[in-house]
Each structure stands twice: as C-alpha cells, then as structure tokens.
Amino acid sequence: MADTLEATENKVDDLSFVHGLGMAQGLTQQGFVFINMELMGNTFLGLDAKTEEIIEAQDADTQLRELAGSTENFQKLSDEQSVLVSKLFANLFFQTELFHPALGDINVAKVVEGIMGFVNKQAAPSEEMIKGYTDVMDAFQKKMDEESKAAAKVAGDAGYKFLEENAKKEGIQVTESGLQYEIIQAGEGACPSIDNEVTVHYEGTTIDGKVFDSSYARGEQISFGLTQVIRGWTEGLQLMNPGAKFKFYIPQELAYGDKGAGADIAPFAALIFTVELFSFK
C-alpha cells in the first residue's frame, strides 16, 4: 500500500476503518478470494441503511453450504452464483462479524472504506491507528478471560460443594481418587480392565440436571476403549460388570478440568453420568 493514513480525532471512524481492512485481509489470507469485496461492502451499506432486506444468518449459512457442495467449495462459480455468494457472505458477516462487541459503535461506511483500501492497495493505517485497534481488542479479550475465570471458579466451587454434600447420602460410595458412584442396578460376571473396549448406554448432566449428552436420546449404544474417555469413566467402568447400571458423580479433575468441553461443560465443572454397561471385549 502506497500511503499511510494517520489517526484522526474520531476514534469510532479510526477503529471502523482498521476493522474493515483487517476483515478484508483476513478473508484473503483464509482463501476467500471468490468473494467480491466491493459487492460485500456495498451490501453492508445497503443493510445498514435498510435499503436491502436482510437474509437471516441461519438462512445465509444454509444456502452457502448448499452452494459449497455444488460448486466444489466455491471454486466453480457461475457469474450469477458469484454474486449470490458474495451477498450471502455479506449478510452473514453483517450479523456475526461486523459489529464486534469490543468496538461498541461502528461506522459502517468507514468499515467499507477499510475493505476497499485493502483491495485497492490504497492508504494503510498508521501504527498509531493499528495500536489503537489492537489495544481495544486486547482489553476486550482480557476482560472476557477474567469473566471466564470468574465463572470457572463459581463452577469449581459449586462442584466441590455438591460433591461434599452428595458423599453424605445413603448409597453413595467414594473411591480413593474422589470418584463417587451409586449402584442403580447390579450386574454379573467379570469387570472390564483398562485394555478393554466397552459397549454402553449413558446420559451426562451438569450438577444442576442439564442434559448435555445422551446415547439414550440418540437411540443407539456406543462402544469405546477405556483409554479413550475421561478419567472418571476409565475408573468407574472398571467397577461395573455386564448388566450393571451406575450413576457416577465425577469431580472436575477426573472430568474435563480447566478446559471444559463445548458450551455446556464449564471449566472446573463436576459432572454426573448415568452409565449402563452391556458388554466388553
């Protein structure tokens, strides 16, 4: 890019410009070269002015998936399809990427200027402008990390309190590792070892009863090796024999620990699994 664009006294405009340029640069680096950036920018302006009817994000995503499948992942687009793809991505990004929560106010026109500045290799933002943008994004990420840690502490504290009280209940047994279990139905025969593959039905819930996974709901049993699952399962299933049904109360260190798993399992969360063992080999 030839010239340098200096920061102005309008922080919203400066942040919006860098945001647009970064969006165009990121899409290019990720291989989205089939998107017509000028058309995308004009669509942003039309959607912002409400002169274009918005395509809901889910509908845009569905249409894009169908087009990807029929055009070898957008590599063989007709002219008509190329226009449609650019407009669909514009609608999707308008709803999911453009109005970043870190930025607060956005000047869509300045975003489009940034996009076209990148495309046409015009003035690049100064180091001051870029630093202003990265400082805002870094501060937002720091805040999100702190909120995540606070939520994780709440989940961890709640899990330990739950397990402490649960261990006092009749029928609850506690192993040396801290795994708690309840025998709902006894089985017969030998127990699997760590080298075995087991076939089970199961349901997993958070300590407040929210179901996050269930083979019962899917209507099919599942088979896996005992080294392929969380430690609470590895230990607990070796206590069972075929025909048994146990309820496991698993502390976070035997579950997903500080990582959590997906949207439903927070870091440091204790979990509850009802497991029915059918066979092992």
Q: What is the 3-state secondary structure (H, E, C) of the chain?
A: CCCEECCCCCHHHHHHHHHHHHHHHHHHHCCCCCCCHHHHHHHHHHHHHCCCCCCCHHHHHHHHHHHHHHCCCCCCCCHHHHHHHHHHHHHHHHHHCCCCCCCCCCCHHHHHHHHHHHHCCCCEECHHHHHHHHHHHHHHHHHHHHHHHHHHHHHHHHHHHHHHHHCCCCCEEECCCCCEEEEEECCCCCCCCCCCEEEEEEEEEECCCCEEEEHHHHCCCEEEECCCCCHHHHHHHCCCCCCCEEEEEECHHHCCCCCCECCCECCCCCEEEEEEEEEEC
Averaged pLDDT for residues 44-48: 96
Query: Above 50 in pLDDT, residue 11?
Result: yes
Query: Above 60 in pLDDT, residue 1?
Result: no
Most confident of 99-108, 141-150, 258-267: 99-108
Binning pLDDT at 50, 70 and 90, where does residue 118 land?
Answer: very high
Write down the mean pLDDT value for the chain.
Answer: 92
**pLDDT at position 97:** 87
Least confident of 82-91, 173-182, 259-268: 259-268
**pLDDT at position 202:** 96
Query: Above 90 in pLDDT, residue 66?
Result: yes
**pLDDT at position 14:** 93
Top CATH class of 162-280 equals: alpha beta
The residues spanned by each domain of the chain are 4-125, 162-280
The predicted model scores a pTM of 0.59
Query: Above 90 in pLDDT, residue 123?
Result: no
Query: Above 80 in pLDDT, residue 149?
Result: no
